[in-house]
């Protein structure tokens, strides 16, 4: 009896406490079938889009080096190879991906990483056994977008949407060729918009979705519930290699801008300011009157920003009439503008707001293919040591230089002894910190040149013409 009274008193106390709390209650709603006796299906909505998504097979020749320890001494003498030298062996690497037909005459958009370095690209269209040989029109590693072309007429071309009108929670479908099993469709929603700082591309403004995106889906279509293209599937975050419900697609508005330049000019031109920037942290917000923008950390020499008088500590809050929310927003806004365009930056400096006129420059290359006398030696592809590359390859911060990302088979670079992964640190007496330094060094020195490289922690020297 005592226990029962205690329970009743507790209920009464709880009721009294809750009486002062006002919760918002939703009205009750009936549960209904979508349509009794009918099957709910999006087949008609995505039917045309599915016909526009192609399978891509890219092949590239790769030279491997067989360690001497795996080679019998007899064969070492036969090949006249000194001790410690590796024997090259060529193999063909193949990769599968997806692409989207965007014009009836055969232009196809895909990811750059699907066809990067490919010697041959083959395309098959759904419902047809015919295999097309594709021509690479142009690539843009900064956004991971590429355009290829097949010869054809009246091909099924997908309808374009407007990624600026998307909303979180919109129903979407990912169409592609996961794991090479053939055409496949997965369904989900838009989980988030404007995702940046993911560390995948240099320019990021991703659509995040939980629609299953697996290996082979790269370059495929992300469409809305009408079957209209809103993005190109690009990457996933996963620990297992399979979809964990965190996929990223490049917004179609960005894709159209990049693809148009690749088709018309073969390359993409990005506006360049020449500053290092940071977001407004909570601490920094206390020393600025504006609560959004990009903080200038450094102004590079001989850049548009330097000529315009920008200073370290400036807070850029607008580009023309476009508000700037953070550092990524500024990078994407400036990058979307053509070199040579004059813009007005709204800047806060010492708690005062002013405007600065800037004429944008050309974005300096972070990746350079060496052809003939334009670089160190024919057959090399060089890249700057970006934080992403350092993190992926475990390169310490105290090592400076440019990394050799590709050595073309049977080229002068291969004959000189260059290998992928080599870091060029010095040419003659000039220290190398960027691909631009390589060009400067080649102009400064003539004749045979000493090229110092860091190969897996060991310093080596190569001689090139």
User: Could you tell me the two tokens for 442?
Assistant: 């080649």
Q: Provide the token pair at 77.
A: 């003498």
Closest CA to 60 of 418, 421, 407, 393: 407
Burial level of 269, CB count in 10 A (0-12/13-18/19+)?
Answer: middle
401 Cβ contact partners less than 8 Å away, ≥ 6 residues apart: 385, 423, 424, 425, 426, 432, 433, 454
Query: In the structure encoding, which two tokens stand for residue 16, read together?
Result: 């009294």
Chain Cα centroid distance, residue 431? 29
Give the whole-angstrom CA distance, residue 206 versus residue 311. 31
**Spatial contact of 162 and 172, defined as CB atoms under 8 Å apart:** no
**Which candidate, 117, 200, 111, places its Cα nearest to that of 391?**
200
Distance CA 5, CA 166 (A): 57
CA 427 from centre of chain: 31
Residues belonging to the active site:
113, 144, 218
Say if CB 179 and CB 212 are below 8 A apart.
Answer: no
Taking alpha carbons only, the member of 234, 196, 191 closest to residue 215 is 234
3-class state of residue 322 by DSSP:
strand
> Where on the phi/psi map is residue 229: left (φ > 0), alpha (ψ -120 to 50), or beta?
beta
Measured between alpha carbons, how far is 185 from 117 in angstroms, rounded to an integer?
A: 28
3-state SS, residue 436: helix
Nearest to 374 by CA among 465, 439, 463, 428: 439
C-beta separation of 330 from 277 below 8 A? yes
Looking up tokens 């083959």, which residue turns up? 122
Do the beta carbons of residue 423 and residue 403 sit within 8 Å? Answer: yes
CA nearest 409: which of 158, 119, 206, 143? 119
Residue 300, judged by CB atoms within 10 A of its CB (0-12, 13-18, 19+), counts as middle
CA angle 153, 52, 167 (to 5 degrees): 135
- H helix or E strand, kind and range, residue 362: strand 361-362
Q: Are 165 and 226 in contact (CB under 8 A)?
A: no
């Amino acid at each position: 009896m005592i226990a029962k009274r205690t329970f009743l008193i507790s209920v009464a106390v709880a009721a009294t406490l809750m009486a002062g709390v006002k919760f918002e209650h939703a009205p009750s709603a009936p549960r209904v079938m979508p349509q009794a006796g009918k099957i709910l299906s999006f087949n008609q909505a995505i039917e045309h889009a599915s016909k526009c998504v192609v399978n891509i097979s890219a092949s590239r020749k790769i030279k491997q080096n067989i360690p001497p320890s795996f080679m019998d001494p007899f064969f070492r003498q036969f090949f006249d190879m000194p001790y410690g030298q590796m024997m090259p062996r060529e193999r063909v690497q193949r990769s599968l991906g997806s692409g989207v037909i965007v014009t009836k005459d055969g232009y196809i958009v895909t990811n750059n990483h699907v066809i990067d370095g490919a010697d041959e690209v083959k395309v098959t269209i759904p419902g047809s056994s015919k295999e097309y040989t594709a021509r690479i029109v142009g690539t843009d590693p900064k956004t991971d977008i590429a355009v290829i072309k097949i010869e054809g007429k009246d091909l099924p071309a997908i309808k374009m949407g407007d990624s600026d009108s998307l909303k979180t929670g919109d129903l979407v479908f990912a169409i592609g060729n996961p794991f090479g099993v053939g055409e496949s469709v997965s369904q989900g929603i838009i989980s988030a918009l404007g995702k940046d700082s993911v560390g995948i591309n240099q320019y990021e403004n991703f659509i995040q979705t939980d629609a299953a995106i697996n290996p082979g889906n790269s370059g495929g279509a992300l469409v809305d519930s009408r079957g209209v293209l809103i993005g190109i599937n690009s990457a996933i975050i996963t620990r297992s290699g399979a979809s964990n419900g965190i996929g990223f697609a490049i917004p179609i508005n960005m894709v159209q801008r990049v693809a148009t330049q690749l088709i018309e000019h073969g390359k993409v031109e990005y506006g360049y300011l020449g500053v290092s920037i940071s977001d407004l942290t909570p601490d920094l917000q206390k020393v600025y009157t504006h609560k959004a923008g990009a903080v200038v950390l450094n102004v590079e020499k001989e850049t548009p920003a330097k000529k315009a008088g920008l200073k370290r500590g400036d807070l850029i809050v607008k580009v023309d009439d476009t508000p700037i929310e953070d550092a990524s927003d500024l990078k994407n806004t400036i990058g979307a503008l053509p070199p040579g365009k004059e813009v007005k930056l709204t800047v806060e400096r010492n708690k005062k707001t002013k405007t600065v006129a800037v004429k944008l420059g050309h974005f300096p290359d972070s990746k350079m293919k060496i052809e003939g006398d334009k670089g160190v030696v024919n057959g090399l592809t060089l890249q700057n040591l970006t934080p992403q590359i350092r993190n992926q390859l475990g390169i310490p911060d105290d090592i400076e230089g440019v990394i050799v990302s590709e050595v073309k088979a049977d080229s002068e670079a291969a004959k000189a002894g260059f290998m992928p992964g080599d870091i060029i640190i010095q040419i003659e007496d000039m220290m190398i910190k960027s691909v631009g330094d390589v060009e400067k060094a080649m102009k400064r020195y003539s004749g045979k040149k000493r090229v110092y490289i860091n190969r897996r922690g060991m310093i080596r020297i190569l001689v090139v013409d």
